[in-house]
Amino acid sequence: MVLKKKTLFTTHPALDRERKNLLFLNLIKTRRTTSRTEVSRLTDTNVVTVSNYINSYIRKGLVVESGYDTSSGGRRPELIEINKRWGYVVGIDIGGGSAKGILAGIDMGVIAEDSISNGAGHDAALLIEKIVQKLSLAAKVDMKEIRKIGIGVSETAEESFEKIVRAKDAIEAKMGIPILCANGALSAAFGEISLNLKISEAKSILYIYTDAGWGVFKSGNEFYEASEKGRSLGYLKPWGENITIERVAKKIVEEGASAKMADIAKGYTGKITAEVAIKAAKEGDEVAMDLVKTVGMNLGVRVAYLINLFVPEAVVVGGGIEEAGGLFFDSLNASVDKFISREIKDKVKLAPAVSGKDVCVKGAAALAIREALIEA
């Protein structure tokens, strides 16, 4: 299926203006208050060029002048900052017949959040429309003030993504608000990269989204995804073909190997899931602990291969497995250390994701903001 360019997020800014918009506006947004001179110095860009761009942002209302900085001699530099009232974005995480959304300012300040399920038989278009309306009412924000809507699609099947895209086109025409779609991995990656202060200085980041088995590599302002259409990419799934929750469950049933996991499962779906295994491992169950250690070791081999290939400054592992804590990451680190190239061993920082279950919805909002900045 060939998708129109406007359907997806701009993962690779092509035009010089797009790149400069991201460079300047992200810096202004991050520093909260700055000056033309400082933007010029930090981006190594001619001050005249910087001033021309900033004057354009001011005319559009995206940036405002906010006073004067102290001077060490000569003319006092005029301070500038992002205009928080310029507009709003909505981020939506949709999948499994439900949608969770947030309404945020252009500075990523969350103003309202809500969710809606498919219990009443809503289709995807109606889910999107209703969650946007609920957020708009809760925040008392006019729909006309919403600049972009970002949607992260949790389902990994191609047909599910295409279904959301078709719904997006219909609701975009009805509401008159540009809507952009991304798979859950890209949405989660951008949310984590935007919110995780531990990796904020890294210029190249590899994000492993274990829930779907997808990887996202960020280099500068460009994003590269590793996924397969039509089915989940098992390569980066910790619970892979050789170590599956189903096989562990069978062993538990047949051998009674872990009464604790079986008991914990009763409080969930009744089945042995990754969540059950992680909880049991944290409570000291030997079978679960062995499982978590083994998946850490196996995933570490694959992560090491990607590190050797891309040489990122930071690697972040998220998607649920990070809840296993040190038990998983000690095994992952040991495995990575064994297979990583000696030349880059001390140059890569390995870290767990910190953004939790809301990472996809926040990432969708952050991507919507990014798209608005690119087009400024």
**Residue entry with tokens 């001077």:** 71
Alpha carbon separation from 337 to 208, 296, 308, 352 (Å, rounded) = 17, 12, 11, 16
pLDDT computed for residue 47 by the predictor: 92
Q: Which of 328, 362, 371 is nearest to 196 (CA)?
A: 362
Alpha-carbon distance 279 to 277, whole Å?
6
Give the number of other CB atoms < 10 A from CB of residue 235. Answer: 16
* Average confidence (pLDDT) over 109-130: 78
Alpha-carbon distance 133 to 296, whole Å?
42
Give 341's pLDDT tier (boundaries 50, 70, 90).
Answer: confident
Alpha-carbon distance 258 to 354, whole Å?
30
pTM (2 d.p.) = 0.79
**Residue entry with tokens 């990472």:** 359
Task: Give the HSE-up count for residue 353: Cα atoms under 13 Å, Cβ half-sphere.
Answer: 29
pLDDT tens track for 343-369: 888 888 888 888 777 888 998 999 999
Q: Which of 246, 309, 306, 310 is nearest to 273 (CA)?
A: 246
Q: Does residue 74 register a pLDDT over 80?
A: no
**Residue entry with tokens 């203006």:** 17
Please, are residues 129 and 105 in contact by the beta-carbon 8 Å criterion? Answer: no
pLDDT computed for residue 5 by the predictor: 40
Give the number of other CB atoms < 10 A from CB of residue 325. Answer: 14
Least confident of 163-177, 216-230, 242-256, 274-288: 242-256
CATH of 5-82, one of 1.10.10.10, 3.40.50.970, 1.20.120.140, 3.60.15.10: 1.10.10.10
* Average confidence (pLDDT) over 159-170: 73
For residue 14 the two structure tokens come to 């092509």
pLDDT computed for residue 80 by the predictor: 92
Alpha-carbon distance 292 to 299, whole Å?
11
For residue 108 the two structure tokens come to 């990523």
Alpha-carbon distance 141 to 295, whole Å?
46
Please, are residues 329 and 281 in contact by the beta-carbon 8 Å criterion? Answer: no
Which spans in the chain are helix H? 16-31, 36-43, 47-60, 124-139, 158-175, 184-195, 245-255, 259-265, 274-282, 286-310, 326-339, 359-374
Where in the sequence of the chain do the CATH 3.30.420.40 domains occur?
88-190, 198-354
Q: Does residue 265 register a pLDDT over 60?
A: yes
- Indicate the fold that domain 198-354 takes in CATH: Nucleotidyltransferase; domain 5 (3.30.420)
pLDDT computed for residue 350 by the predictor: 87
Give 256's pLDDT tier (boundaries 50, 70, 90).
Answer: low
pLDDT computed for residue 231 by the predictor: 43
Least confident of 166-170, 177-181, 188-192: 166-170
Which tops the pLDDT comparison, 215 or 141?
141
pLDDT computed for residue 252 by the predictor: 58
pLDDT computed for residue 139 by the predictor: 92
Please, are residues 80 and 66 in contact by the beta-carbon 8 Å criterion? Answer: yes
pLDDT computed for residue 246 by the predictor: 57
* Average confidence (pLDDT) over 119-136: 78
pLDDT computed for residue 2 by the predictor: 35
Alpha-carbon distance 297 to 6, whole Å?
40
The average confidence (pLDDT) of the chain is: 80
For residue 250 the two structure tokens come to 């069978």
Alpha-carbon distance 333 to 47, whole Å?
45
Q: What 8-state DSSP symbol labels residue 82?
A: E
CATH class of the 88-190 domain in this structure: alpha beta
pLDDT tens track for 5-46: 456 777 778 789 999 998 999 889 888 889 999 999 999 999
